[in-house]
């Protein structure tokens, strides 16, 4: 609000017809100056000025103007019911400030943000936890990722409302830049396994890329704008790796591509992008995670170490500068879009059917980022930076890891605290540039040949049988 707008607001006429707040303050200050008071009691002076103004309002006003014309004839009022109070004429209300289109848009935006700042009437459940986003954002700023302090605080309030509504813990995953805005993405642990029974052949459950459930919003200041994204399938991940497409900003938009994208909706493509970025860029520190030994056979599950082991860990600044200290916190996705082995179908007798070709093995879990290289060149896919560095470096400096495969993915560490965030277009860099090659046509079918009989003798075509038509009898 500018100074002139504030001044007009103070000069607004009260509903009771008394002086405005601006005039009242002027009279109080004038009384202080004229009386040259040293020990000023503002409340007493204000009450005295208020009493004087009320007394002047109650004095009868004498009319000095001569009537130029007789008053119009009064129309009789309709008879009123007994006990009904007479109606007073409605006072004309005038807007205090002229509302321009820009001012209306600003007031509409303020009204939209107001519900975020209303404290909840009931305490949120213990499961509805949200990390301190403001503290994480302060770490991300050292890596060059900033959403603005006011926007970050509104996003934090929106995540708290979403967590309280869903009764689950949420964290801010990052944002995907589109042509019509940005998708802000929130992450929560999947409550129920989405792949049960026969669905496990089409979709990997909570032990794979569907370990987390994601929500997206283009306007996080509106808590009702969060939309849950569908779970991802292995086929969608495989096709998403073969196409490169900028997002439109409409989750219901079609995805024209070749090969055709399963689902044919942008929400499915967004979910496939998130699955790849999460598997490749979410990092932790060596020793903080371990493989769950109680998991099922042939299944890999990553979990945190015991509290006693975690309490004994410490990382110096030199340790954080070493790539061997940083490890992948999520399982790798193999060539068929899975993190675990593909379940084998069963025959009629209940025995598993062995596939013709086995799935490609994913990369080792909890591997160091130093093992991430590009082909034969062995160029690293991660860069470590210290902030502040140089003359400002201290034992309390932060270290962040920047992904070269997924531009916009950062992991920032301070001691044992690690935070991950992504802010980019959802498109990876191609380590080995390859020109487009159209797919080869399908194999030509062989010509038809007559089958052979049981005695391995070729079938021969039968000879045509000619039958002469009957002769008609001649008439005498």
Please tell me the predicted confidence (pLDDT) of residue 128. Answer: 79
Residues in the chain: 476
Predicted local distance difference test score (pLDDT) of residue 88: 55
Question: What DSSP assignment string belongs to 167-208?
Answer: TS-EEEEEEEEETTEEEEEEEEE-SS-S--GGGGGT---TTT
DSSP3 helix / strand / coil % (the chain, rounded to 5) = 30, 15, 55
Cα–Cα dist 385/38, whole Å: 62
Predicted pLDDT of residue 75: 47
H or E element, residue 153: helix 149-166
Two tokens, residue 282: 């979410």
Tally of CB atoms within 10 A around 340:
19
- CA gap 279, 382 in Å, rounded: 15
Give the C-alpha distances (Å, rounded to integers) separating 129 from 30, 157, 161, 333.
Answer: 55, 12, 10, 29
Mean pLDDT, each 10-residue run in order, the chain (476 residues): 72 71 81 72 77 67 47 49 52 63 87 85 76 95 93 94 92 96 95 81 89 95 90 94 93 92 95 96 95 81 89 92 95 92 77 75 91 86 94 92 96 95 93 68 84 61 81 70
Residue with tokens 């079609």: 254
What pLDDT sits at residue 475?
Answer: 67
pTM beyond 0.75, yes or no? no
């Amino acid at each position: 609000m500018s100074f002139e707008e504030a001044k007009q607001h103070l000069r607004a006429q009260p509903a009771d017809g008394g002086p405005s707040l601006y005039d009242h303050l002027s009279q109080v200050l004038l009384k202080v100056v004229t009386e040259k008071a040293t020990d000023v009691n503002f409340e007493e002076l204000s009450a005295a000025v208020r009493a004087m103004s009320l007394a002047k309002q109650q004095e009868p006003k004498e009319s000095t103007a001569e009537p130029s014309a007789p008053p119009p004839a009064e129309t009789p009022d309709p008879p009123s019911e007994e006990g009904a109070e007479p109606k007073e004429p409605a006072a004309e209300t005038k807007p205090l400030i002229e509302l321009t289109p820009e001012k209306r848009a600003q007031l509409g935006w303020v009204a939209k943000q107001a519900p975020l700042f209303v404290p909840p009437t009931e305490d949120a459940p213990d499961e509805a936890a949200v990390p301190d986003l403001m503290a994480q954002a302060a770490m991300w700023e050292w890596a060059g990722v900033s959403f603005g302090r006011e926007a970050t605080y509104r996003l934090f309030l929106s995540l708290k409302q979403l967590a309280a509504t869903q009764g689950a813990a949420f964290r801010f995953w990052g944002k995907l830049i589109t042509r019509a805005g940005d998708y802000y993405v929130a992450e929560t642990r999947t409550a129920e396994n989405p792949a049960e029974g026969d669905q496990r052949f089409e979709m990997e459950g909570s032990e794979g890329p569907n370990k987390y459930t994601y929500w997206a919003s283009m306007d996080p200041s509106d808590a009702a704008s969060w939309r849950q994204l569908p779970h991802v399938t292995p086929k969608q991940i495989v096709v998403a790796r073969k196409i490169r497409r900028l997002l439109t900003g409409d989750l219901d938009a079609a995805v024209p591509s070749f090969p055709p994208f399963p689902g044919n909706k942008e929400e499915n493509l967004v979910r496939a992008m998130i699955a790849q970025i999460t598997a490749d860029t979410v990092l932790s520190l060596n020793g903080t995670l371990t493989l769950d030994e109680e998991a099922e056979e042939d299944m890999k599950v990553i979990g945190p170490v015991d509290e006693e082991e975690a309490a004994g860990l410490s990382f110096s600044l030199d340790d954080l500068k070493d790539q061997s200290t940083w490890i992948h916190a999520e399982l790798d996705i193999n060539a068929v879009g899975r993190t675990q082995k593909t379940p084998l179908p069963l025959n009629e007798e209940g025995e598993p059917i062995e596939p013709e070709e086995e799935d490609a093995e994913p990369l080792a879990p909890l591997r160091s980022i130093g093992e991430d290289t590009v082909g034969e060149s062995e160029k690293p896919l991660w860069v470590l930076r210290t902030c502040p560095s140089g003359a400002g470096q201290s034992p309390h400096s932060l270290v962040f890891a920047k992904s070269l495969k997924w531009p916009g993915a950062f992991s920032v560490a301070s001691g044992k605290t690690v935070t991950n965030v992504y802010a980019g277009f959802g498109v990876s860099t191609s380590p080995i540039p390859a020109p487009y090659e159209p797919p080869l046509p399908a194999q030509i079918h062989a010509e038809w040949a007559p089958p052979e009989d049981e005695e391995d003798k070729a079938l021969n075509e039968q000879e045509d049988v000619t039958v002469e038509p009957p002769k008609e009898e001649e008439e005498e």
